[in-house]
Amino acid sequence: MIMTCGCSTSGKLSVSSVAYQSLRTDFAQPQSIAKDAKIAVEYFFNSKGEMQPVVYNLTSEILVLDQTKSFVIMPDGSSLSYYDPTIRTSTTGTYSSETSGATFNLGGITNALGIGGALGVLANATNVGSSHTDGIMRQNTVSVTDQPHVYIGPKGSVAMSKAYKINGIGDASYIGRNVIDVAPSASTVRFSVCVSYSFDDGKHYEKLVTNFYISSNISVPVIDRKVSKAFYNIYEQKPDALAENMYLFVLPNNIKGVTTDVMGEFLVHSNIYDTYIYGSLIDFQ
């Protein structure tokens, strides 16, 4: 994990601490899903603390997922629906150009730019010499809108429309108060998700409510640049740290982050890998 952190701009990597979190449901995670279960929801988390539910239809019937009646209750008590009627539009564009002194056929450029008809035919017979510059502009516009009702086919699955960030998960600045294996009532980060679904084409809806909480927070400072000792300290305090169904490590450091926006909100790449997250949590009915 430390090797993946890379090097800082100053040439000397500095890791100030090692932080650990484990996340649980208020019931013991099952070893397997019951054979008579009709629906299952698996919850995935990323290093930013964003939660993405994936709904599984375990039957041979059609499942109707009502996103207007499905929501997440945040740690601060606020309720956020999975359905948002707002239509969001994102436009991205790229321009590439090249300058050369060689002779070229103008038809190649008109074809690349999509020019047809008489102009295109004329250009195919026209050669131009000396220096030139040609370019292509490409734009992609993507519109995103939520569906109030999502239909899931027999034995199918679908990811819900949003990945909400849960404050306190993966936040190194928050992991300051050390607690180990606390009960749900003693946790400072508790939240829940309600998924509304129907198997009779929306005539009657049922709810699957899952309660989550952070069961362990451990932060150990790194002394004399010995990061491994900080890990050993965590394992001494919680020997079963790696046996949790879902846990993460965070390593605060002095690396200057560079985030590349590849395609708007859909794909963002970072050059830092200082968080390790393992596992997922599941509920069924």
> Which range of residues forms the domain containing residue 87?
17-284
- Exposure letters 216-249 (e unless 16+ CB within 10 A, then b): bbbbbebeeeebeebbebbeeebeebeebbbbbb
Whether residue 137 is predicted with pLDDT greater than 80 in this model: the reply is no
Whether residue 264 is predicted with pLDDT greater than 60 in this model: the reply is no
E strand or H helix at 279, and its extent?
Answer: strand 275-279
Examine residue 156 and state whether it is found in any structural domain, yes or no.
Answer: yes
Examine residue 11 and state whether it is found in any structural domain, yes or no.
Answer: no
pLDDT score at 128: 43
Q: Cα separations (Å) of 225 from 22, 221, 253? A: 25, 10, 11
Higher per-residue pLDDT: 256 or 91: 256
- 22, 241 in Cβ contact below 8 A? yes
Listed in sequence order, the DSSP H helices in the chain are: 106-112, 117-124, 227-237
For residues 121-149, give the mean pLDDT.
52
Tens digit of pLDDT for each residue in 111-128?
444 444 444 444 444 444
The confidence band for 11, taking pLDDT boundaries of 50, 70 and 90, is low
The confidence band for 261, taking pLDDT boundaries of 50, 70 and 90, is low
67/84 Cα distance (integer angstroms): 9
User: How many domains in the chain?
Assistant: 1
For residues 22-32, give the mean pLDDT.
94
Higher per-residue pLDDT: 89 or 221: 221
Q: What is the pTM of this model?
A: 0.72
Examine residue 77 and state whether it is found in any structural domain, yes or no.
Answer: yes
Q: Cα separations (Å) of 134 from 104, 108, 121? A: 11, 10, 18
pLDDT score at 122: 43
Share of the chain above pLDDT 70, in %: 67
- Exposure letters 51-70 (e unless 16+ CB within 10 A, then b): bbbebbbbeeeebbbbbebb
For residue 207 the two structure tokens come to 């709810």
Examine residue 147 and state whether it is found in any structural domain, yes or no.
Answer: yes
pLDDT score at 84: 78
3-state secondary structure of 16: coil
For residues 161-190, give the mean pLDDT.
84
For residues 149-166, give the mean pLDDT.
90
Whether residue 27 is predicted with pLDDT greater than 90 in this model: the reply is yes
For residue 199 the two structure tokens come to 């198997």
For residue 121 the two structure tokens come to 């035919």
E strand or H helix at 156, and its extent?
Answer: none
274/250 Cα distance (integer angstroms): 6
128/124 Cα distance (integer angstroms): 11
Examine residue 146 and state whether it is found in any structural domain, yes or no.
Answer: yes
Examine residue 158 and state whether it is found in any structural domain, yes or no.
Answer: yes
3-state secondary structure of 278: strand
DSSP-assigned letter for residue 271: S
Q: Which of 96-110, 230-244, 266-280 has the lowest average pLDDT?
A: 96-110
pLDDT score at 188: 85
